[in-house]
């Protein structure tokens, strides 16, 4: 039987990445949008939207504007970013399996006896990250 909690914690694309891309999609359709408008349009819980917008402002993907007509705006050049760029801005731990995290020492993967499963995860991770790096947001959000 699969432990669902464990599978969710090991996923490569977590909700934050998905929500970040949805936020960028919403911002391609308008000049400035409030978090409330983005949340309603993209079905993102407002607290998550604020948290992710803050990370994307810090990464330079979007700008924030204060005031009654304020909100968030897509920065020029953001659509040239890759899917990997966006995911790394909001989630630095992009691993397809828990055993690949540097802080998680796997007892089944040692120098004397390398784990074939771990090695296969490493191979697959490289493929996925290369594909994400090659996929530009402009292609996904147009």
Q: What pLDDT shows up at residue 2?
A: 36
Cα 125 to Cα 142: distance, rounded to the nearest angstrom: 27
pLDDT tens by residue, 4-26: 333 334 456 788 999 999 999 99
Place of tokens 């810090």: 58
pLDDT of 1 strictly over 50: no
Q: Tell which CATH classification among 3.40.50.1370, 1.10.760.10, 1.10.10.10, 3.40.50.300 matches the domain 4-141.
A: 1.10.10.10
pLDDT tens by residue, 84-99: 999 999 987 777 777 7
pLDDT of 3 strictly over 60: no
Mean pLDDT of the chain: 85
Q: What pLDDT shows up at residue 94?
A: 79
Higher pLDDT, 96 or 103: 96
């Amino acid at each position: 039987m699969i432990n669902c909690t464990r599978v969710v914690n090991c996923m490569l694309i977590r909700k934050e990445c998905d929500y970040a891309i949805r936020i960028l999609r919403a911002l391609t359709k308008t000049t400035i949008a409030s978090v409330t408008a983005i949340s309603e349009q993209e079905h993102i819980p407002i607290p998550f939207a604020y948290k992710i917008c803050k990370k994307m402002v810090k990464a330079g993907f979007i700008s924030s504007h204060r005031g009654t007509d304020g909100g968030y705006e897509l920065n020029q050049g953001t659509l040239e970013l890759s899917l990997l760029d966006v995911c790394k801005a909001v989630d630095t731990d992009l691993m397809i399996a828990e055993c690949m995290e540097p802080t998680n020492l796997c007892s089944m993967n040692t120098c004397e006896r390398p784990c074939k499963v771990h090695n296969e995860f490493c191979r697959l991770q490289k493929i996925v990250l290369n594909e994400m790096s090659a996929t530009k947001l402009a292609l996904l959000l147009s």
